Chains A and B, each alone.
Chain A
Amino acid sequence: MASTNDPFQFQEFEEAGNLLEANRDATTISIEEDNIKPDKQRKAVGFTPDGDDEDPLASDDKTELLSGPKKSVPFWTFEYYQRFFDIETHHVKERIIGSVLPWPGKNFVHVHLRRNPDLYGPFWICTTLVFAIAISGNISNFLVHLGKPNYKYTPEFRKVTIAATAIFSYAWFVPLALWGVLLWRNNKIMNLVSYSFMEIVCVYGYSLAIYIPAVVLWIIPYEWLRWCSIVVALCLSGSVLVMTFWPAVRDDHPKVIIAIMSAIAVLNILLAVGCKAYFFSKPEAVLPADSSAGTEVTKAPSST
């Protein structure tokens, strides 16, 4: 009996260790490699059509057992990046809807990504947002200055570059920083939930999707409408981010939790308000000169 008990216990211990190992792989091994290391968590099989109310850990265990041999391709080959585009139209639609309408019980990563983060969504949502901001800013400028005789309409193409820089930095560097912070905290505190870099990029990319209709709404030159839409978009986008990262930090020191969560929220707010202030001038009825301190310089000849 004793001899049969010992291997049993030994097996259990190893299983738990493997379980942790499987989830912590992305955090423990990937330091010396590139920043992108989803290899251990990539499942070569497609999606498992499971129900939503499964325990995410159990589903991780099952998918890892079910997966075939995962070939790890070096990151300089084309095939390496092809695995991030292993996605279909209805998946993209579900992910966008899931990020625009966050539901309190559903964690975006577990429900929608299911260990298959993609780069298609983040990249094209960011690109669409860049052009939406540039075009809407242009239109709103034009509408604001419509009746004035001195105003010469110009399509301002510099703004596309600036918008692109701002949005792509937000969508790539903030996930990088957040991933680094989570890595650091994971080394100190045993967390069962950890996200790979690609998954964090994916969440951030999809969370920007709500801003596209908001930015189009900003064309209408009413301040109250703009502030309403900003607040709604911030709430939705922020809640997606907060609900996603809450399981990753909830076992941590309370101060660290507050610091990380507020950093996420503040950066989001900064991006939204900064875009609004820089690209969309406030409708001023009186002065033909540049509108107010924080906004961009218009083409109207100023009286200074």
Chain B
Amino acid sequence: MAAAEEASRPFAGLSEVSISEDIPVEGDISVPVGPSTRRDDELSTLDEPVRETILRDLRAVGNKFVHVLYPKRSTALLRDWDLWGPLLLCVTLALLLQGGAADSDDQGGPQFAEVFVIIWFGSIIITLNSKLLGGTISFFQSLCVLGYCILPLTAAMAVCRIVLVGGSGTVSFAVRLVVVTASFGWSTFASTAFLADSQPPDRKALVVYPVFLFYFVIGWMILTFSPSQ
């Protein structure tokens, strides 16, 4: 009883407190909302010029390109994933694969839509496969990594087209073969460097093989591209 009275004593005076109008209450209770507080003007990107908005995204994409070109085990691609880079690469690759030996009947090279479907559908299937095998990576992160690692193959396609301008004999075929093989190996190695950590260790080969197959098919499409005469 006495203890209870003792315990209630610190709070005894509370009932006498009242908020009256002459106690000014002021202050700023707004919390800056935003995913990052890196820059001071992050709060409102509405006021910045459009060029800056676009450049920011382009810089992010370019940063990821650099990470693909020098693949180390890093989480840069995984942390801030975006799908602009893969879209850009896919469209570039599909456009470069146009203008091939397409005669009037369509037994020719891949159409734009075919390349698009192969790349995106293939990426989705590989992502589903790795998730079903128990991977910890998220769906869009995996799409992002697979899309960005097409960069070496797109570069190889550009090189192949340049080589084909010079002629399409055996020498050019040998050069193209070497370039495409090297870039295919680079792509597979780069994507494995990003994806490997998210898999349980006894299933790594099961996840890497579909990636290998995917880039092999894309490399095949690039290698067999023959220009129209």
Mark A residues whose CB is within 8 Å of B: 78, 81-82, 84-85, 87-90, 92, 120, 124, 127-128, 131, 135, 138, 152-158, 299
B206 within 8 A of A: yes
Residue of A nearest to B131 (CB): A78
Interface flags, B198-229, vs A, CB<8A=1, else 0: 00001111100110010011001100111000
Contact across chains for A89 and B101 when beta carbons are under 8 A apart: no
Mark B residues whose CB is within 8 Å of A: 101, 103, 106-110, 114, 129, 131-134, 202-206, 209-210, 213, 216-217, 220-221, 224-226
Q: Give the 10 A-B CB pairs with smallest separation, nearest first.
A: A155-B224, A85-B132, A88-B202, A89-B205, A85-B133, A157-B110, A156-B107, A154-B108, A154-B101, A154-B107
Neighbour of B129 across the interface among A120, A152, A155, A299, CB < 8 A:
A120
Contact across chains for A154 and B220 when beta carbons are under 8 A apart: no
Q: Say whether chain B's binding surface is mostly helix, strand, loop, or mixed.
A: helix
Contact across chains for B213 and A127 when beta carbons are under 8 A apart: yes
Contacts of A135 in B (CB 8 A): 220
Docked CA distance A88–B224 (Å):
35
Contact across chains for A85 and B134 when beta carbons are under 8 A apart: yes
18 contacts between A and B (CB under 8 A): A81-B132, A84-B132, A85-B129, A85-B133, A85-B134, A87-B203, A88-B206, A89-B205, A120-B132, A120-B206, A124-B209, A128-B213, A152-B103, A154-B103, A154-B226, A155-B226, A156-B107, A158-B106
Contact across chains for A120 and B101 when beta carbons are under 8 A apart: no
**How close is B180's CB to chain A, nearest CB, in angstroms?**
13
Contact across chains for B203 and A89 when beta carbons are under 8 A apart: yes
Q: A82-B134, A85-B133, A128-B213 are in contact. Are A157 and B205 (CB under 8 A)?
A: no
**How close is A145's CB to chain B, nearest CB, in angstroms?**
13
Contacts of B132 in A (CB 8 A): 78, 81-82, 84-85, 120
Docked CA distance A166–B92 (Å):
32
**How close is A152's CB to chain B, nearest CB, in angstroms?**
6
Contact across chains for A155 and B109 when beta carbons are under 8 A apart: yes
Docked CA distance A154–B217 (Å):
16
Contacts of B221 in A (CB 8 A): 155
Contacts of B209 in A (CB 8 A): 124
Q: How many A-B residue pairs have CB under 8 A?
A: 65
Neighbour of B107 across the interface among A78, A124, A299, CB < 8 A:
A299
Contact across chains for A89 and B206 when beta carbons are under 8 A apart: yes
Residue of B nearest to A157 (CB): B110
Docked CA distance A84–B131 (Å):
12
Docked CA distance A156–B226 (Å):
12
Docked CA distance A138–B107 (Å):
12
Docked CA distance A152–B107 (Å):
11
Contact across chains for A152 and B134 when beta carbons are under 8 A apart: no
Neighbour of B224 across the interface among A82, A127, A138, A152, CB < 8 A:
A138
Contact across chains for A88 and B226 when beta carbons are under 8 A apart: no
Contacts of A85 in B (CB 8 A): 129, 132-134
Contact across chains for A153 and B202 when beta carbons are under 8 A apart: no
**How close is B185's CB to chain A, nearest CB, in angstroms?**
18
**How close is A86's CB to chain B, nearest CB, in angstroms?**
8
Contact across chains for A124 and B210 when beta carbons are under 8 A apart: yes
Contacts of B220 in A (CB 8 A): 135, 155
Docked CA distance A302–B43 (Å):
69
Docked CA distance A124–B128 (Å):
13
Contacts of B226 in A (CB 8 A): 152-155
**How close is B52's CB to chain A, nearest CB, in angstroms?**
41
Contacts of A90 in B (CB 8 A): 202
Contacts of A158 in B (CB 8 A): 106-107
Contacts of A152 in B (CB 8 A): 101, 103, 226
Contacts of A155 in B (CB 8 A): 109-110, 220-221, 224-226
Q: A88-B202, A157-B114 are in contact. Are A131 and B217 (CB under 8 A)?
A: yes
Residue of B nearest to A153 (CB): B226
Residue of B nearest to A84 (CB): B132
Residue of B nearest to A296 (CB): B107
Docked CA distance A157–B112 (Å):
12
Select the residue from B103, B107, B216, B221 with max chain A CB neighbours within 10 A: B107
**How close is A147's CB to chain B, nearest CB, in angstroms?**
13
**How close is B178's CB to chain A, nearest CB, in angstroms?**
18
**How close is B151's CB to chain A, nearest CB, in angstroms?**
22
Docked CA distance A158–B107 (Å):
7
**How close is A82's CB to chain B, nearest CB, in angstroms?**
5
